[in-house]
A = this chain, B = another copy of it.
Amino acid sequence: MHVMILGAAGMVGRKLIEKIAREPLAFGRPVTRLTLADAFQPPVPESLRSVSTALTVDLAGAGAADRLIEGRPDLIFHLAAIVSGEAEADFDKGYAVNLDGTRALFDAIRQAGLAASAYVPRLVFASSIAVFGTPFPEVIPDEFFTTPLTSYGTQKAIAELLLADYSRRGIFDGIGIRLPTICVRPGAPNKAASGFFSNILREPLVGEEAVLPVSDNVRHWFASPRSAVGFFVHAATVDTARIGARRNLTMPGLSALVSEEIEALRRVAGDKAVALIKRVPDPMIERIVAGWPTQFDAERASSLGFKAETSFDEILKVHIEDELDGRIA
């Protein structure tokens, strides 16, 4: 089968590529062709080099979507996006990529299907819990309305609506998945407001200090990078007849306090690791985080077989296995 990943150079894209390299039958059939596209040059693992094409492309560029769909991929992962902060700062760029780029992709599939019969690929779209905006209940149910408070969340919510309508019309077979905050996020500390959730685990595990800018009793919604990849693989293969018309699903996750993160770190790496967490309250980050969802009842996705971690001990175990070769400082 021909698999295409848009946004292949991002963190989840890279992990998905690694998964395909490790498990060539992850989608049931062998991947005989792999198209990797991103605004930045995507990485291609050695073992996939013979079947892969890596493209540097701007999804919002004229004709870009049509060229991507020319090769009639059977399975499309659409992970490409201008991230939240940039979409808020640059109105035009956010709408151009996250809305117009997504719609161009969807319409390119439609045109391909009109031109050649029976082209109806599976399309898995990375949505976000940013489609929700305060105020919301402590535990957000599957049927709660989407009232985003950012342009990014608005663009994701619109893409979800388009995905459902195009799927209903049989243009493609789409699923939108709303990811929890990915933790432990690999790589260097970044300046995202959510970065500290990962930093306070990742850095102490390698003997480095990390800053905690919020109080210990902040609650948030998490899943590991391994679970995120698992969501995408499951979405690629699940029987969509079971999903019906409501194609956008909040993924399961772990609702946990910062203090639970810290206690899991203590169990795994001891007091000396915990001592590397420096408390430096940042009222602005406190305020931003206070506007984020803390827990979902992801009943629909769970009943469809999507799975995430159920404790921070598991999330740490995944990180240590996948990123640290099983070794901690």
List residues of chain A with CB under 8 Å of any chain B CB.
Answer: 91, 133, 142-149, 151, 154, 157-158, 161-162, 164-165, 168-169, 245-246
Contact yes or no, B145 A145, CB < 8 A = yes
Question: A164 contacts which chain B residues (CB < 8 A)?
Answer: 147-148, 154
Contact yes or no, A157 B161, CB < 8 A = yes
Closest to A143 in B: B145
Integer count of this chain's copies in the complex: 2
Q: Tell me the smallest distance from the CB of A125 to a CB of chain B, in Å.
A: 15
Q: How long is the Cα–Cα vector from A164 to B154 in the complex, in angstroms?
A: 9
Q: How long is the Cα–Cα vector from A161 to B246 in the complex, in angstroms?
A: 18
Q: How long is the Cα–Cα vector from A143 to B142 in the complex, in angstroms?
A: 11
Contact yes or no, B146 A145, CB < 8 A = yes
Question: A161 contacts which chain B residues (CB < 8 A)?
Answer: 146, 148, 154, 157-158, 161
Q: How long is the Cα–Cα vector from A44 to B310 in the complex, in angstroms?
A: 65
Contact yes or no, B162 A154, CB < 8 A = yes
Contact yes or no, A149 B245, CB < 8 A = yes
Q: Which among B91, B162, B245 is the interface contact of A147 at CB below 8 angstroms? A: B245
Question: A154 contacts which chain B residues (CB < 8 A)?
Answer: 161-162, 164-165
Contact yes or no, B145 A168, CB < 8 A = no
Q: How long is the Cα–Cα vector from A72 to B165 in the complex, in angstroms?
A: 35
Q: Tell me the smallest distance from the CB of A91 to a CB of chain B, in Å.
A: 7
Q: Which among B143, B148, B157, B165 is the interface contact of A151 at CB below 8 angstroms? A: B165
Q: How long is the Cα–Cα vector from A149 to B144 in the complex, in angstroms?
A: 17
Closest to A157 in B: B161
Q: Tell me the smallest distance from the CB of A77 to a CB of chain B, in Å.
A: 23
Q: How long is the Cα–Cα vector from A169 to B161 in the complex, in angstroms?
A: 22
Question: A144 contacts which chain B residues (CB < 8 A)?
Answer: 143, 145
Question: A145 contacts which chain B residues (CB < 8 A)?
Answer: 142-146
Q: Which among B151, B158, B245 is the interface contact of A169 at CB below 8 angstroms? A: B151
Q: Tell me the smallest distance from the CB of A284 to a CB of chain B, in Å.
A: 19
